[in-house]
Chains A and B, each alone.
Chain A
Amino acid sequence: MPVFSFLNPAFLSALPVAAIPVIIHLLSRRRLPEVRFPTTQFLRDLEPREIRRLRLREILLLILRTLALLLIVLALARPSITPRNAVTHAAAAVAILLDDSESMGALDEEARTRIEAAKERALAIIEAARTGDDLFLATTTRPDAPGSGFTNDRVRSKRAIEQIEATALPARLEEAIDAVVRALQRSRLTARELYVITDLQRSNFTPEARRALAAAAAGGTRVYLVPLVSTRVANHALVDLSPELRPGPEGRGLELRARLANFADAPSDRVAIRVRRGDALVGGGDVNLRAGEVRWVAMPLESRAMADSASASIALLVEADADALPADDRWYAVLGASRRIRVLRVAEARDGVRPPRFASLALDPSGDGSSGFVVEEGTPASLLSLSPARADVVLLEDVASISGDAEARLRAFVRDGGGLVVALGPHADPTYYSARLFPGVVDLALEGPVESGAGASFELKSRMPSHAAMEGFAVGVGSPLTQSRLTGLIRGRALSVHAEVVVQTTGGLPVLVTAPGVSVFLSSLSDDWGELPYSGAFVPLVRGLVGHATRAGKAGARADSRVGAPPAARLAAAPTSAVLVRGPGGYASQASVGTEGAGFRAVADAVALVPGFYEFHSGGRTIANAAVNVDPIESDLALVSPDSLRAGTVATGAAGARAAGAGATGTAMTTLSSATALDVHLRDTRRGRELWLSFLVAAAVVLAGELMLGSARVLKP
């Protein structure tokens, strides 16, 4: 049964105040004056009908006035009722899961971070804790961080909350929920509450995280979702950087290519990009981004500032205009020495005629390597002597097949980080590629050539415009790449998600398929099947194929690291002594060294928590630099709907309850969408539902009724 009580019972002593109207009424009746009047016959006639009505109204007014005073006095005494389902009196295990991921550093209109609001909510929950409650605090980025654990000490909990700041790490929501639920189950208290204070970022609520949340609710834990935002906030971000500097247009100067994303429903105009080397501004430009666009942009760099680019690794900081989430508007990069990409082009002469050199000309038109590409012409036999020291990328162009030895050499080359570009053509044997070369290299099956027929052609359409292979194109999803005719291609089929179809025909036939370090063009780079080599799209297409293959993308091969992972760096030579890594925020860690391809790779023992430059020292000198950046997964501030989470919880909760058998009761998730809602919830469940406002409203209603009744008395005559 609900329990009714007063939080300020001292005010109940003022209850006799409610008798004031009755006393005034009695006194006023006793002191009525006498008026001598010629006749009372007309008054007397009115008496039975009117006076009775008046007296009834008088009594009603008296009751209303007394009731109003009574309600006001009771309101001052702060009446409170404990709902039947509240855990007011029983102590509970209360867990707070506080989102401290990078997105919680996003600023609102008042330049206040989300984490500040989250901490306020968490402190309110701690403040409302009852004696005997077990309190547990965890964060979404480091759920198993030392210091988390049950405590009855509010002061300690508050201090722990106050020390939480938004990290640069992505949320690990699923792990965090599992950890919290496990902790709750360790508590001796049967009543369990989980408050998830989050910005509802969609990327955090993976299907696994949703399932974990639903399972928690199904297990009898009261799950309270405390969202901090209700709408998507626009945010642009630097999400990647080309690991190597490129020669500028026409071989002049250098340029840096960065990948920008506009996570917004509206365009971002004139986003300024600045490239700094130390304190010096060395390049930059302005970029216009469409709503939801992700694309590569090239920024010219000052030649003088980059004069040493050929001989040293260069630490650059790329900055975009700061917006809602400042953390992802900076990108740290340690670029390798500017070098030309060496391409071994393998083609077959047929009938004594050398194959056309369209692709070679597209990569190195002047033949002096000034474009950043150096092309070596070769035959399948050239592959027998292939090594990373000879070439960075192998371009197989319209080769029917290669020998087993050459194939083995090529596989070893790819395994060691070399790039592979396969351009098919009318002479390529689909069966060979499909059955022999591609397995283990790219999950692609080929069926046979397809020709468009007389007078017709295939239309090439971009499917993944932000892909590295599309760096040279400014196109959107579904945009045609070229107007030139393409009359034939090899019909192919991606066998897994690891084979990405970047370009396809209007009918959905793959034309460009990529895998890490591998690009496959399913048509011809010659003029056998149309006029592609004569189109403006040819040069960026060929360079994109080679560029993607060069950026091998194999695990551990990235030039930069992410926060939450240990910094790593390639070493040209084995260090002579132990390697120590130092970084921003007082970071210091030992590093372990292993071989990687022809060189070595040093990986720090401790994870990096702060983006920035990390230096690898050995023997008293710096042997390498590494850049650590934030994870772009936190940059999209799109929200997940609390309703969808709640619906999933209910459905899964019911299923979970059934699975658990009799006695298991699933509970739905409750959303406390504002600070006020949280306060009301805490007040209701901890101290009981206060009714003073209801009493005051009732008093106001009663007084309004009294006024209406009273004014009716005046108006009627």
Chain B
Amino acid sequence: MAMNESRPRLLDPHFVSKIAKLDLTARLVVEGFLTGLHRSPYHGFSVEFAEHRQYMPGDPLRHLDWKVLGKSDRKYIKQYEEETNLRASILVDTSASMGYGSHSISKLDYARQLAAALSYLMLRQHDAVGMFAFAAGRAEQIPPRSTMGHLRPLLLLLERLTPGGGTDFTASLHTLAERMTRRGLVVILSDLLDEPERIAQAIHHFRHHKHEVLVFHLLDPQEVSFEFSREAVYVDLETGERVTTRPQELRSDYRRRVGEWKDKLRQSCIEKRAEYVPLTTDQPYDRALLEYLSKRARLL
């Protein structure tokens, strides 16, 4: 019972954000998530047995099949089909707009936690995970690897991320698409503040290289509902543009426009055969993790 009660808390962004160590939070999130699943996602994954072959001098002794040796006194080596069956790249948007948070966590915090959890989950499944943090004029990259030891540099990168600068979002995506030549899963964590057509072109670029694309569209609840109450000067975090307005006057029109924008993004993703997952920073992480697992299941 205690497990069931703790699971939602471990998936709650507000709760997780209070835990300083990112590796711990990633583990807690994933373990909490997995505990709630009825069926382990590991069965039949990544460590599939392929065939036996004759032991040859120089082969690592840890792959020797001791059971066969004990029964028949012959030395066979267990051969596996492949150590890693998915190559995932997590793209984290670090533009200034990602630093916005109307409550305890910003969009970047949410992206950081979610990226950590996804990394931990992927590495637990022996998937190779790479990380790309991008913003206008800067980009950091960690190439994909599948060992658990690879988690540490990933988390270190995530901890270093700070919001800043504008997002030439599509330019960065195009650059990354050119670098990632090997087919894999591309997970994008961004608020997608760009023209839907240009985003569609960038996704198309990934798809052109046979990548599967999973887009987590991260928005703050205020960006969706626009629940501000009083007249104020609204300053654009990326462009510095100032707009004076009365939220109560514009709220309905604003919501309608944001809805249209999201619908357009969703439509673009569908057209490019990418998964579009809208998330607000007050939603639990399990939805994102489920989407990933669902996508992976379809890929393998």
Contacts and interface: CB of A to CB of B under 8 A. Distances in A.
A50 B250 contact: yes
Contacts of B258: 42
Contact of B248 (A42, A43, A717): A717
Contacts of A44: 241, 243
A34 B233 contact: yes
B178 interface: no
B4 interface: no
Given A32-B244, A34-B232, A45-B257, A39 B97 contact: yes
A40 interface: yes
B238 interface: yes
B249 A713 contact: yes
A456 interface: no
B114 to A, nearest CB: 18
Interface string B189-209: 001010000000000000000
Contact of A36 (B230, B231, B235, B244): B235
A42 B236 CA distance: 11
A317 B240 CA distance: 108
Contact of A717 (B234, B238, B241, B251): B251
A716 B243 CA distance: 22
A43 B193 contact: no
Nearest to B257: A42
Interface string B251-274: 111100110010000000000000
A302 B265 CA distance: 118
Nearest to B251: A717
Contacts of B254: 42-43, 46
Nearest to B101: A38
B253 A38 contact: no
Sorted from nearest, which 6 A-B pairs have the closest CB atoms?
Answer: A38-B97, A717-B252, A40-B236, A40-B243, A38-B100, A43-B243
A54 to B, nearest CB: 5
Contacts of A51: 245
A33 B232 contact: yes
A209 B213 CA distance: 109
A108 interface: no
A525 to B, nearest CB: 105
B212 interface: no
Given A32-B244, A44-B241, A46-B257, A39 B236 contact: yes
Contacts of B74: none
Interface string B134-172: 000000000000000000000000000000000000000
Nearest to B97: A38
17 contacts: A33-B233, A34-B235, A35-B232, A36-B100, A36-B237, A38-B100, A38-B191, A38-B223, A39-B193, A40-B234, A40-B243, A41-B236, A42-B261, A45-B257, A714-B248, A716-B249, A716-B252
Contacts of A39: 97, 193, 236-238
Contact of B246 (A36, A40, A54): A54
A699 B266 CA distance: 54
A657 B244 CA distance: 74
A405 interface: no
A43 B250 contact: yes
A54 B250 CA distance: 10
Contacts of A40: 234-236, 239, 241-243
A209 to B, nearest CB: 72
A33 B234 CA distance: 8
B45 interface: no
B92 to A, nearest CB: 16
A655 B241 CA distance: 84
Given A34-B233, A35-B228, A43-B243, 20 more contacts: A32-B244, A33-B230, A35-B235, A36-B234, A36-B235, A36-B237, A37-B234, A38-B193, A38-B236, A40-B239, A40-B241, A40-B243, A41-B193, A41-B236, A42-B254, A42-B258, A43-B250, A50-B253, A54-B246, A713-B249
A37 B237 contact: yes
B233 A47 contact: no
Interface residues of B, number: 34
Contacts of B193: 38-39, 41
A37 B220 CA distance: 10
Contacts, number: 86
Nearest to A714: B248
Contact of A35 (B191, B233, B238, B246): B233
A37 B242 CA distance: 10
Contacts of B237: 36-39
Nearest to B191: A38
Contacts of B257: 42, 45-46
B245 A47 contact: yes
Nearest to A49: B253
Most buried by B among A40, A713, A716: A40
Contacts of B97: 38-39
A306 B232 CA distance: 106
A261 to B, nearest CB: 78
B231 A37 contact: no
Interface string A16-46: 0000000000001000111111111111111
Contacts of A35: 228, 232-235
A717 B245 contact: no
A54 B257 CA distance: 18
A28 B241 CA distance: 21
Contacts of B246: 54
Contacts of B232: 32-35
B136 to A, nearest CB: 14
A51 B258 CA distance: 18
Interface in B97-136: 97, 100, 107
Nearest to A39: B193
Contacts of B236: 37-41
Most buried by B among A28, A41, A43, A46: A43
Most buried by B among A37, A41, A46, A717: A37
Contacts of B253: 46, 50
Contacts of A54: 246, 249
A198 to B, nearest CB: 65
Contacts of B251: 717
Interface string A200-230: 0000000000000000000000000000000
Contacts of B244: 32
B262 to A, nearest CB: 11
Most buried by B among A39, A46, A714: A39
Contacts of B245: 43, 46-47, 51
Given A43-B254, A47-B243, A38 B233 contact: no
Contacts of A28: 231
Contacts of B239: 40
A713 B251 CA distance: 11
A32 B233 contact: yes
A32 B234 CA distance: 10
